[in-house]
């Protein structure tokens, strides 16, 4: 590859050295009337055009060679490699879910017609996501609410709204007072299990090059006969799945295998997605394997930092830092540790950054619910207080030892444990890191002039 990575200067130097080594001999033989002046003139201009053409050729050859190697290829080239092993890139899809429609006090049956629109309030970027009713539904007279199937107007993961975010009845319906997307109850679920989400089918993005490349590698590795690679390849073939981790070290006893999947960050893993993975893997299960498919557990992380900068617009710069950190966390796979230096690398090279002061970088504490408080026993009366012995005067000849100072740790006004900033956050094989708390303070550094320079002036 290094032989193809040549700059215009490298090619010019090689060409001029070649001409210099040959032209004296050519003049002697009469091939040239005199030596060529390589510093100026028409010939120099013609040589520069020729040099640029050679550089373009090297550049094109370098790109073609990279695209010829599957693990380095991108775009249409990567799709060609994938098709050669029987893989088809996954395409974007819409979200389908159940939204609860509640009556406003009107009596009788209420018709909820197809194509009526519900939606979210504007998010932080001002985006509103809309969902259309997929079929006519009747809210019966003896019911206060009914779950209605809706489909998103847009494609992609962005339409997988969080719980209780769909609150707007954009198209008015007589007799309906409110709408809300909540966890699907068991009686309305389309599977045997109660869903963790309001979604039936998740909205997905077009498959990224990184994910398609991972599937390509897994497709080849499954040929080696290693069962875990076959499970990874099968699970990744499901449209909603973006990451897979296989624990094949007998987590639940001899022959047991746990497969953890990641779907949309907001979707929380729908029943349909888990069932689709089970169906895909069922074709690969070895006779003695006991396989369970689970949604990866979220590991909440807590990041608080102060970034010292110079010459930046504070609010815009803060948004840039936040988006860089979120992009890094989202790129992590199941079981991948969160490394503080890698987080810092997304920030420190930004123009204007002078220093990063870490205040917290750790796994977020788990707040457990309090147990009911047991009533206290009646307070027993205290025994009479025995008088203290009189204090003996200090001996002036004996030196008094100073008290040992108590070491404390604090951050952002709160008392913290010693390890509130760690080098890395360890993530288990069944866990996926996600940001729980991200607080960034951008501080503009004011440089003071050196007093010696001022006095000299």
Do 240 and 319 fall into the same domain? Answer: no
Compute CA 396 distance to the chain's CA centroid, rounded to the nearest angstrom. Answer: 68
Helix residue spans in 69-145 (DSSP H): 75-84
Strand runs (DSSP E) across 134-203, as ranges? 137-139, 145-155, 166-169, 176-180, 199-201
Q: What is the predicted pLDDT for the residue at 416?
A: 43
250 is in which domain, residue-wise? 219-295
Domain boundary among 142, 168, 201: 201
1 domain residue, yes or no: no
For a pLDDT cut of 70, what percent of the chain falls above it? Answer: 82
Do 437 and 309 fall into the same domain? Answer: yes
How many structural domains comprise the chain?
4
pLDDT in tens, 243-265: 898 988 888 888 899 999 988 75
Q: Could you identify the residue written with the tokens 């025994």?
A: 383
Average pLDDT of the chain to the nearest whole number: 83
Once rounded to an integer, what is the mean pLDDT over residues 429-439?
88
Which element (helix H / strand E) includes 315? helix 314-331
Q: What is the predicted pLDDT for the residue at 138?
A: 95
Q: What is the predicted pLDDT for the residue at 192?
A: 47
Which element (helix H / strand E) includes 290? strand 290-295
Whole-number Å distance between alpha carbons of 423 and 288: 41
Instruction: Enter the tokens of residue 368.
Output: 């457990």
Once rounded to an integer, what is the mean pLDDT over residues 58-85?
90
Q: Is the model's pLDDT at 76 over the cut of 60?
A: yes
Sequence-ordered list of residues with C-beta below 8 angstroms from that of 329, at least 6 positions apart, any chain = 301, 338, 433, 434, 435
311 domain residue, yes or no: yes
Q: What is the predicted pLDDT for the residue at 196?
A: 66
Q: Is the model's pLDDT at 408 over the cut of 60?
A: no
Do 36 and 157 fall into the same domain? Answer: no
| Max intra-chain CA distance, the chain | 127
DSSP summary character for residue 38: S
Which CATH number belongs to the domain containing residue 266 in this structure? 3.30.70.1350
User: How many helices and strands in the chain, by DSSP H and E?
Assistant: 9, 19
Do 156 and 129 fall into the same domain? Answer: yes
| Phi, psi (degrees; rounded to nearest 5) at 148 | -120, 135
Do 62 and 31 fall into the same domain? Answer: yes
**Residue 355: strand pairing partners:** 308
Q: Assign 3-state DSSP to the chain and report helix, strand, coil percentages, each to 5.
A: 30, 25, 45
Do 127 and 47 fall into the same domain? Answer: no
Q: Is the model's pLDDT at 223 over the cut of 50?
A: yes
- Cβ neighbours of 192 (radius 10 Å): 8
Band of residue 402 on the pLDDT scale cut at 50, 70, 90: low
Once rounded to an integer, what is the mean pLDDT over residues 361-381?
61
211 domain residue, yes or no: no
78 domain residue, yes or no: no
Once rounded to an integer, what is the mean pLDDT over residues 368-378?
50
Q: Is the model's pLDDT at 454 over the cut of 60?
A: no
pLDDT in tens, 266-296: 556 677 888 889 999 888 887 788 889 988 8
DSSP summary character for residue 426: -
Q: What is the predicted pLDDT for the residue at 93?
A: 93
Compute CA 389 distance to the chain's CA centroid, rounded to the nearest angstrom. Answer: 67
pLDDT higher at 147 or 319: 147
**Residue 432: strand pairing partners:** 298
Do 232 and 345 fall into the same domain? Answer: no
Whole-number Å distance between alpha carbons of 59 and 48: 16
Q: What is the predicted pLDDT for the residue at 249?
A: 87
Q: What is the predicted pLDDT for the residue at 417?
A: 45
pLDDT in tens, 90-101: 999 999 999 999
- Cβ neighbours of 48 (radius 10 Å): 12
Once rounded to an integer, what is the mean pLDDT over residues 127-142?
95
Q: What is the predicted pLDDT for the residue at 418?
A: 42
81 domain residue, yes or no: no
Domain boundary among 50, 68, 86: 68
Q: Which of the listed ranges 169-178, 373-382, 413-422 does the model predict with the highest average pLDDT?
A: 169-178
Do 289 and 304 fall into the same domain? Answer: no
Q: Is the model's pLDDT at 241 over the cut of 50?
A: yes
Q: With contact defined as beta carbons under 8 Å apart, do 157 and 265 qualify?
A: yes
278 domain residue, yes or no: yes
Do 131 and 259 fall into the same domain? Answer: no
**Closest-CA residue to 8 (of 65, 57, 66):** 57
Q: What is the predicted pLDDT for the residue at 97?
A: 93
pLDDT in tens, 302-343: 999 999 988 887 778 888 899 899 889 988 888 899 999 999
**Residue 308: strand pairing partners:** 355, 443
Do 36 and 149 fall into the same domain? Answer: no
Do 236 and 150 fall into the same domain? Answer: no
164 domain residue, yes or no: yes
Domain boundary among 201, 231, 257: 201
SS3 361: strand
Do 257 and 304 fall into the same domain? Answer: no
394 domain residue, yes or no: no
**Closest-CA residue to 201 (of 171, 246, 169, 238):** 238
Once rounded to an integer, what is the mean pLDDT over residues 205-230?
86
Determine the straight-line distance between the first and last CA of the chain, rounded to whole angstroms: 56
pLDDT in tens, 13-57: 888 888 888 888 888 888 888 887 788 888 888 889 999 999 999
């Amino acid at each position: 590859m290094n032989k193809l990575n040549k700059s215009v200067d490298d090619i010019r130097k090689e060409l001029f050295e070649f001409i210099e080594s040959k032209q004296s001999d050519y003049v002697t033989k009469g091939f040239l009337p005199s030596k060529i002046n390589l510093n100026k003139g028409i010939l120099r201009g013609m040589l520069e055009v020729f040099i640029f053409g050679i550089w373009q050729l090297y550049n094109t050859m370098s790109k073609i060679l990279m695209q010829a190697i599957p693990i380095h290829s991108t775009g249409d080239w990567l799709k060609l490699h994938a098709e050669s092993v029987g893989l088809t890139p996954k395409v974007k899809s819409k979200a389908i879910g159940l939204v609860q429609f509640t009556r406003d006090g009107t009596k009788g049956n209420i018709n909820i017609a197809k194509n009526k629109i519900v939606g979210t309030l504007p998010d932080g970027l001002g985006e509103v996501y809309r969902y259309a009713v997929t079929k006519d539904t009747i809210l019966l007279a003896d019911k206060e609410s009914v779950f209605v199937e809706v489909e998103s107007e847009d494609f992609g993961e962005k339409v997988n709204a969080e719980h209780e975010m769909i609150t707007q009845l954009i198209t008015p319906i007589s007799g309906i007072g409110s709408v809300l997307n909540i966890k699907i109850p068991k009686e309305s679920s389309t599977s045997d299990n109660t869903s963790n989400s309001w979604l039936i089918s998740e909205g997905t993005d077009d498959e990224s090059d990184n994910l398609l490349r991972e599937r390509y590698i897994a497709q080849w590795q499954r040929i080696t006969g290693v069962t875990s690679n076959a499970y990874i390849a099968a699970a990744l073939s499901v449209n909603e799945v973006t990451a897979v981790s296989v624990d094949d070290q007998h987590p639940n006893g001899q022959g047991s295998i746990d497969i953890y999947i990641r779907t949309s960050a907001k979707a929380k893993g729908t029943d349909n997605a888990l069932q689709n993975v089970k169906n895909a893997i069922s074709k690969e299960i070895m006779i003695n394997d006991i396989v369970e498919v689970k949604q990866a557990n979220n590991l909440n992380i807590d990041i608080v930092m102060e970034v010292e900068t110079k010459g930046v617009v504070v609010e815009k710069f803060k948004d840039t830092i936040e988006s860089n950190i979120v992009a890094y966390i989202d790129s992590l796979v199941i079981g991948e540790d969160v490394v503080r230096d890698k987080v810092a690398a997304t920030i420190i090279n930004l123009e204007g950054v002078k220093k990063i002061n870490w205040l917290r970088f750790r796994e977020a504490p788990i707040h457990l619910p309090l147990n009911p408080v047991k009533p206290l026993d009646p307070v027993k009366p205290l025994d009479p207080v025995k008088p203290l012995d009189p204090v003996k005067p200090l001996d002036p000849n004996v030196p008094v030892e100073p008290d040992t100072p108590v070491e404390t740790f604090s951050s952002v006004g709160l008392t913290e444990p010693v390890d509130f900033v760690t080098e890395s956050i360890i993530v288990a094989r069944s866990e996926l890191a996600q940001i729980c708390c991200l607080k960034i303070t951008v501080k503009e550094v004011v440089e003071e002039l050196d007093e010696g320079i001022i006095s000299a002036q």
